[in-house]
Amino acid sequence: MPVVKKATLLIKNIGQLITMAGPVPRIGNNMTELGLIEKGGIAVAGDEILAVGESEKVEGHAPLAEGCTVIDANGMVVTPGFIDPHTHPVFSMTREKEFEMRIQGKSYMEIAQSGGGIRASVRDLRTTPVEVLMEKTKSRLDRFLEHGITTIEAKSGYGLSTESEMKQLKIIDDLNQLHPIEMVPTFLGAHEVPDEYRDCRDEYISLLINEMIPAVTGEGLAEFSDIFCEEGVYDIEESRRIQQAAADAGLKLKFHADELKSTGGAELAASKKARSADHLVNISEAGSKALAHSGTAAVLLPGTTFSLGGKQYAPARKMIESGVVVALSTDCNPGSSYTESLSVVISLAALQMKMTAAEAISAVTVNAAYAVGREERIGQLRENYQADITMWNMSDYRELPYHYGVNLTGRVIKKGKPVVER
C-alpha cells in the first residue's frame, strides 16, 4: 500500500493561482500561458508540492498533518517563487559616487581614472574580511527574499585571482547553507582582466584555464562558468577558449554577450550550447536567429540600461516573436544596477521593452528556472515540484508592473517553510 502523504502547509482561497504549469521553457505566445486557476489552493508536504488546483478540491484532497499550517490567501495572487538568473551579490563597497558622477555627465574614462569601475570592486573585495562580506551579502539575500525571490544565480568575478575568486564562491556556498534563499553558483573569473595582468593578458587566460577552473571544479564550488565577452574585455576567440576549458571541466555555460556592441557573443553562446546569453542590448539579427529555437535562453537586464541612464534596451519583443527563450533578471551589482527587486525590473520590462505582465512573469519563473538549469525542480507550481511560493498583496497579477517602485510581496514560502511575512 502506498504511503499517503499528509499536507504540512495548505494555502486556500487564492484569487489568482498562477501555476505556470505547461511547456518548458516558454517561447513566443506560450509566454502568456500562466496556468491560471481562479479560487485556487495548494497543498504542500514537507518541501514539495502535493496538490495544486481549485481551492475546494485541494482542501478535500489531502489529509492534513498534525500542526499543518493553513493560510487563507483571501483572494491574493500567488505565483511560483521568483527566480533571478543573473546576480553579482558578493561585495562590500557600494559605488553611489560613480552613479552621481554619471548623473553629472562624467564619462566612463573619467570615472575609471577617479578609481571607479569593476576594478574598484576587485580592490575592495580582495582586502575585505570574509565576515564583512558575509554580513553584507546576507542583507542582500534578505532583501531578495522580501521581494518574493526564492532562488538567485550568484556569480563570483570581483576576485580575479584564484584565492579571491574562491573566497567569493565559498561565501556563496556557506550562505547557501545558512540562508533560506537558494543560490546557483557561477564562476566568473573572466569578468575583467585584473590590473596586474593588463600587460600580459594571455598569462591571466592561462591562469583561468590551468589553475582557477580546476580549483573551482575541484571543490565543486560552481555549476556554471560565465565570461564578459565584449570588445575590450574578452574577445570572441578568447571567450571560446576559456569557456571550452570550463565545459571540459564539467561546468555549464553562460555568456555576458553583446551588451555594448554586437560582437557575435550570442552566436558563440548558442554554438557552445550555453544555457544563457545575457544582456544582449546590441544583439544582431544573426545573433537573434542563432538563439531562436536553440537551447540557449536570453537573460535580459533592463535595470542595467535604466541605471546607467541609457536609452537603448534589449529588443525583447523581437526576440520573443522570433522564438528566443526570454528571461529577466536584476543584474544586481554595485556598478551598473543596484537593486534586489524583480518587481521594478518587471515594470521596466513593460514600459521599456513592451513585455506584458504575463510575459514578464514567465520570464522570472519558468524561463528563469530554465536559464539556471533547474527547470525540473522550480519555476512552476505543480505536483512534486519544490514548494517555493510567493503570495502577493494584489488581486490581479497585472498590478505587478503597473503599481511600480513598491514591494507588493505578501508572504514567501521556501521549500515549504514560510520565510517572509509582510
**How far is CA 249 from its chain centroid?**
23
How far apart CA 293 and CA 411 sit, in angstroms, is: 36
Residue found under cell 512573469: 361
Position among 187, 234, 338, 385 found at the interface with a copy of itself (CB under 8 A): 338
Query: Quick check: 33 binds a copy of itself (CB under 8 A)?
Result: no
List helix spans (H) across 339-385: 342-353, 357-363, 366-371
- For residue 389, the SS3 value is strand
Q: Taking a C-beta distance cutoff of 8 angstroms, is the pair 335, 95 a contact?
A: yes
Question: What is the closest distance, in whole angstroms, from the C-beta atom of residue 416 to a copy of itself in the complex?
Answer: 27
* Burial class (CB within 10 angstroms; exposed 0-12, middle 13-18, buried 19+) of 198: exposed
Number of residues written out for the chain: 422
Q: Determine, following the binding rule CB under 8 A, whether residue 343 of this chain makes contact with a copy of itself.
A: yes
Q: Does 111 bind a copy of itself (CB under 8 A)?
A: no
Number of residues that bind a copy of itself (CB under 8 A): 39
Which listed residue (82, 91, 99, 204) binds a copy of itself by CB under 8 A?
A: 99
Distance CA 343, CA 409 (A): 9
**Cell numbers 505547461: residue:** 22
Which one of 356, 373, 377, 382 is in contact with a copy of itself (CB under 8 A)? 356
| 8-state DSSP, 252 | E
Provide, rounded to whole angstroms, the least separation between the CB of residue 223 and a copy of itself.
Answer: 27
Determine, following the binding rule CB under 8 A, whether residue 94 of this chain makes contact with a copy of itself: yes
Among 1, 3, 103, 109, indicate the residue that binds a copy of itself (CB under 8 A).
103
Which one among 104, 177, 237, 312 touches a copy of itself, defined by CB under 8 A? Answer: 104
- CB nearer to a copy of itself: pick between 239 and 339: 339
Q: How far is the CB of 154 from a copy of itself (least distance, A)?
A: 18
> Binding to a copy of itself by residue 100, rule CB under 8 A?
yes
**141, 345, 369, 419: which one contacts a copy of itself (CB under 8 A)?**
345
Note whether 339 and 308 are within 8 A (CB): no
Q: Which of 35, 36, 40, 33 is nearest to 10 (CA)?
A: 40
User: Which bin fits 305, alpha (ψ -120 to 50), beta or left (φ > 0)?
Assistant: alpha
Site string for a copy of itself, 141-180 (x = CB under 8 A): --x---x---------------------------------
293 phi-psi bin (left φ>0, alpha ψ -120 to 50, beta other): left
Q: Does 132 bind a copy of itself (CB under 8 A)?
A: no
The interface with a copy of itself within residues 241-300 (CB under 8 A) comprises none
340 sits near a copy of itself (criterion: CB under 8 A) = yes
Subset of 367-406 contacting a copy of itself (CB under 8 A): 396, 398-399, 401-406
What one-character-per-residue DSSP string does 123-146 give? HHHHHS-HHHHHHHHHHHHHHHHH
Q: Choose between 45 and 350: whose C-beta lies nearer to a copy of itself.
A: 350
CA distance 360 to 343: 10
Grid cell listed for 125: 573585495
| Closer of 158 and 306 to a copy of itself (Cβ) | 306
Nearest Cα residue to 228 out of 220, 219, 236, 217: 236
Q: Which is nearer to a copy of itself, 296 or 341 (CB)?
A: 341
Q: Is 318 in the site for a copy of itself (CB under 8 A)?
A: no
Q: Which segment (216-224, 243-251, 269-277, 354-362) binds a copy of itself by CB under 8 A?
A: 354-362
| Complex with a copy of itself: residue 23 or 405, whichever CB lies closer | 405
Contact in structure between 191 and 208 (CB atoms under 8 Å): no
- Chain residues in the site for a copy of itself (CB under 8 A): 94-97, 99-100, 103-105, 143, 147, 303, 306-307, 309, 338-341, 343-345, 350-352, 354-357, 396, 398-399, 401-407
